[in-house]
Structure 1
Amino acid sequence: MTKLFPVVPVGLPSVRRSLSPEVEPVLREISIGAGLAVVISLTAMGYDTIPLLFLIGAGVGLYYLARMKGFVGTGNFAAVKFAGRREVTFDDIGGQSFAIQELKEALDFIKNHQDIKRLGIRPLKGILLTGPPGTGKTLMAKAAACYTDAAFISSSGSEFIEMYAGVGAQRVRKLFQKARESALRAGKRNALIFIDEIEILGGKRGKTTSHLEYDQTLNQLLVEMDGLKVDDQVRILLVAATNRADMLDPALLRPGRFDRCVKVDLPDKEGRIEILKLHTRNKPLAGDVKLDLIAKETFGFSGAHLESLANEAAILAMREGCREISQRHFNESIDKVMMGGKLDKRPSEAEMERIAVHESGHALLSEIVRPGSVSTLTITPRGEALGYMRQIPEDDTYLYTKDYLENQIAVLLAGALAEEIVLGSRSTGSSGDFEQALRTAETMIRSGMSELGVVCLESLPQDLKHQTLAGIIKKQEERVKAHIAGSKHIISEVVKALLEKEKISGEQFRFILQNKKEMQPEKAAVQGQ
């Protein structure tokens, strides 16, 4: 007679404390092995194990359903360990000296714990790092953890938000719990929680009308920050990063929550030199490499761009079989980082000639308005461009005059006007130039540099705005046409060089320009005789 094994009630697994990533797989394997051994033993003893197998299967299904909904297994945030590799320090971050100094001043409140307690200073609970992408906000958070000897817990704003209500708030609680447990396990008194892209988690409340999951998650974060005290067993500091500070809820930014807002901006020229030195210290550089020249030509590059630039230069040198990285490798890498990789498509001969005329017009006007400004001239398709003229930026400039903006419009219009004067018609390749020229003209109107004076661009009638923009563009068109009409011989010579070599440097362009200018008076003198 077959014995029926007594049924054990199986329900939804209870919410448990999340285990560490190293322990959970071991316990799972032990549980599976023990369960199989029990089932095999009961089967050998003559028990009917089919109901047991059915219940076990149902329990496993409910477990994974609860795991998908976030009730089980959530909160396994990454506790970064630096064992086996060097910790990130502030010395590894270049181009952000002011931001590092401001951050260190805030972190000193945590390091000097006894002085804080004696003077009755409220501890800093949060530091917000704002700035464009790639400027080193995550590196600064890791360096802050090293500076304060704190356990470092990393997460992202997207990890907290799901479609199931209550999951985000639970994950916030588990994040702070994880930080305390990690610090105690490592024998540290400080813990640093880093949340990247906090605008996802801390956006302004009331925007989402479908459900209140976003608001509940943010409310839980505010509650956890309010609960931080100076005499806690583990002192927790919350560091968050965002490039959209305008999206954050005001309750998150008030004093007592994020007490410091550190601006991590794009590096200036000296900062770019410092970053390039950091990213080239492990690379063999040739004697012709000039980091100050590279830094000058990379205005607007972030630290991530500069790291990619050095890496691409090393890849190009390896592809050519060179043992050292030369200046030409860096020049090529600047084009690749700015414009993208070279394309396989090959325009026809007529299109190549038109592209050469277009880019020669840009270069001619650029050299007229600012001598020595042309860096590279090419008709090689790269990224979204069929050709391009790259300028050498002036010293880092943050304010622009009316003359500067008018010169920029003239350079942008010169490509299309060169096509019209030399070839007799324009092409669709100038649409991007026209868009930039119109945006620059709008900047002039907004800054009170037009004939309208100081106006509000948003409340300006559309017909009046259109007339003013057209007037600014028309004035520069007439100026450019006069220059190009008298320099067709120069454009013709530059086009020949581009069709032959596909790429010429600024020095080669200026050599052609100078030779043609010297030959023109001699030709005029011969005709006069």
Structure 2
Amino acid sequence: MLKWKTEILLGIIPVLLLFVAFMGVDYLPIVMIGVLLIVAWFVVRMQRSGGAIGATGGSSSRKGTNPKPSFLDFNQIGGQDQAKAELMEALDFLIKKEQIAKLGIRPIKGILLTGPPGTGKTLLAKASAHYTNAVFSSASGSEFVEMYVGVGASRIRDLFKEARMKAQKENKQNAIIFIDEIDVIGGKREGGQQREYDQTLNQLLTEMDGIHTTEEPRILIVAATNRKEMLDSALLRPGRFDRHIEVDLPDKKGRMSILDIHARNKPLRGDVNMEIIAEQTFGFSGAQLESVLNEAAIYAMRTNEDRLTQKHLALAIDKVMMGEKTDRETNQEEKVRVAYHELGHAIVAEVVREGSVSQVSLCPRGKALGYVRHNPPADHYLYTKSYIEDQIMIALGGAAAEEIFYGARSTGSRNDFEKAMELVRMLVGSGLTNLGIVDIEMVPKKELMNENNAILNALMQRTKQLLDNYKPVFEQSLDVLMTEETLSGEQFRIMLKQIAS
């Protein structure tokens, strides 16, 4: 029917134009007005179709192409036991209605998940919907920001409206709205000119204030951010986001749990020791651990092997940490210099923390011409002054070795110095230097620079003195490293002990 109407209109319009021209009327203004009306109609239609965020996280114009969200169970998420416990306790306010009513508890309106990227904040939000048997609506903060003023605020209203309608349609008592990267729209408001971001944030605050905990379906806002300090204080107060849950990097036990989950569909050889992989991936997020197993499977496919081995997993850790091997060719002189540099790191590391070296390599990865992979220490979160100084000496070991054998440094020490400076800032900020307990921002730059130089110069001298005592190790290790390009931690320790004895 619509097709016939369109064809009739297309036939009538040219006839009308010819008749108007025959009557001597100037029809060009009429045509221009008609074109403008058509364009305006299309713009309004596009804004309306893009204004609503669907229950699967996309706009309403994309509902037909978006698959339903796959709900997860909390048991399928590893490495976040503390975060899961806090989150489940908060979600119980939606489930145990009689108990909370008896105690006079006000159900929470919002939960804020904070923490580094890749730690599983989105997964926890999806599992929350499964745990509470709720409708799950999701959106990203960037979806509310457009060049048209008022579009973001309109999309916020549509998001809440559609969550309620979908919950009613599916006869569910709860609905969870998940907003990822909320710092995009929830940043601190500044005085002066009104911004589109501010209008969107104001609308979100209004909608959260309008959530009545006695109404059904009940709406719960779950949001995620990597930058909590950027959020407006009006969002963080009780009555808006009542619970702030830290989703941090997993410890060794958590890494084991995550690796076991992602290894379920991977064929592992019987001698693979996942505990070693968990030890060597200190500081890895859940996303990085998943990538380690995926990259290991890719390495197995490259070598036409049907099972993943310990070697594949070790290569995958290097790939995730430093990038893929490159085809960069270095001349013999540069290669020797890189070998001395990396051996300097390795010797200092093994002396100050025995058993810490996992591998010394001259294979270029990413932007590095060589590298030393360390066995991470046991998980701990408090550092002493001596421990930080040892880490600074390890960072300076490469430059110190170059000074000993060449009398000068190279640009290869740039990243090492950046790491050393970061550790020095940690010392100063923790009150572990001669400056005492200070606010770094209030210390004059000259005084701060003098203290940094004093610390680094003293530790560089200690590092050079230490390496002077191990010159025979350089000579013996250099031949092996230049020939094989890779030296395992065990091989290196055997050489070190033989020469030291």
Give the TM-score taking structure 2 as reference length: 0.91
Partner of 2:6: 36
1:220 to 184, 195, 203: 203
**Aligned partner of 1:387 among 351, 364, 370:** 370
Q: Output the CA distance in 1 between the equivalents of 2:53 and 2:307.
A: 44
Residue in structure 2 matched with residue 27 of structure 1 by the alignment: none
Aligned equivalent of 2:60: none
Is residue 268–residue 307 contact of structure 2 (8 Å, CA) maintained in 1?
Answer: yes
Write out aligned runs for 1:46-445 (5 A): 48=16, 58-67=36-45, 70=47, 73-79=50-56, 87-206=71-190, 209-445=192-428
- The Cα shift of 1:302 comes to 0.6
Q: CA deviation at 1:157?
A: 0.8
- Pick closer, same or farther for the CA change 1:115–1:452 going to 2, 3 Å: closer
Higher mean displacement: 128-137 or 175-184: 175-184
Residue aligning to 1:476: 459
- Aligned residue for 2:472, secondary structure, equals helix
**How does 1:517-528 map onto structure 2 within 5 Å?**
517-518=500-501
Moved more, 132-141 or 187-196: 187-196
Using the TM superposition, give the Cα deviation of residue 425 of structure 1 relative to its aligned residue in structure 2, in angstroms: 2.5
**SS of 1:395 mapped into structure 2:** coil
Task: Determine what percentage of the aligned residue pairs are the same residue.
Answer: 49
CA gap 1:178/1:49 in 2 versus in 1, 3 angstroms: farther
Per-residue displacement from partner, 1:257-308 (whole Å, max 9, x unpaired)?
Answer: 1111111111100000000000001111112211111111111111001011
- 1: CA distance, partners of 2:376 / 2:481: 23
Shift of 1:87: 2.9
The Cα shift of 1:181 comes to: 1.6
Could you list the per-position Cα deviations for residues 298-338 of structure 1 after superposition, in whole angstroms to 9, with x for gaps in the alignment? 11111001011110011111111111100111111111101
SS at match of 2:112: strand
Name the aligned partner's letter for residue 139 of structure 2. Answer: S
The 1-side partners of 2:70 and 2:182 are apart by: 27
Cα distance in structure 1, aligned partners of 2:423 and 2:457 = 14
Q: Structure 2 counterpart of 1:476, which letter? A: L
Q: CA RMSD in A?
A: 2.4
8 Å CA contact 2:341–2:397 kept in 1: the answer is: yes
Alpha-carbon distance change, 40 to 480 in structure 1, aligned in 2, over 3 angstroms: closer
Contiguous gaps of at least 5 residues in structure 2: 19-26, 58-62
SS at match of 2:159: helix
Task: Quickly say closer, same or farther: Cα 1:75–1:292, change in 2 above 3 A.
Answer: same
SS for the counterpart of 1:225 is: helix
Are 2:56 and 2:69, in contact at CA under 8 Å, matched by a contact in 1? no
Task: Name the SS for the 1:325 alignment partner.
Answer: coil
- The residue aligned with 1:22 is none
Does the C-alpha gap of structure 1 residues 455 and 261 become closer, same or farther in structure 2, counting only changes over 3 Å? closer
In the TM superposition, what whole-angstrom CA distance separates every residue of 1:76-121 from its partner, at most 9, and x where no partner exists?
Answer: 3342699889631101100001110110111111012343445543
Q: Say yes or no: does 1:492 pair with 2:496.
A: no
Give, in angstroms, the shift of residue 502 of structure 1.
1.4
- Other-structure match for 2:443: 460
Distance 2:56 2:393 in 1: 54
TM-score normalised according to structure 1 size: 0.86
How far apart are the structure 1 equivalents of 2:343 and 2:50?
62
Kept after mapping to 1: 8 A contact 2:300/2:308: yes
**Aligned equivalents of 1:504 and 1:221: distance in 2?**
57
Cα deviation, residue 495, structure 1: 1.7
Match of 2:21 in 1: none
CA–CA distance in 1 between the matches of 2:193 and 2:147?
10
- Contact map agreement 2:396 2:463 (CA 8 A) in 1: yes
Alignment length, in residue pairs? 484
Q: Which runs of 5+ in 1 are unaligned?
A: 1-29, 519-529
| Distance apart, 1:56 and its partner CA | 7.1
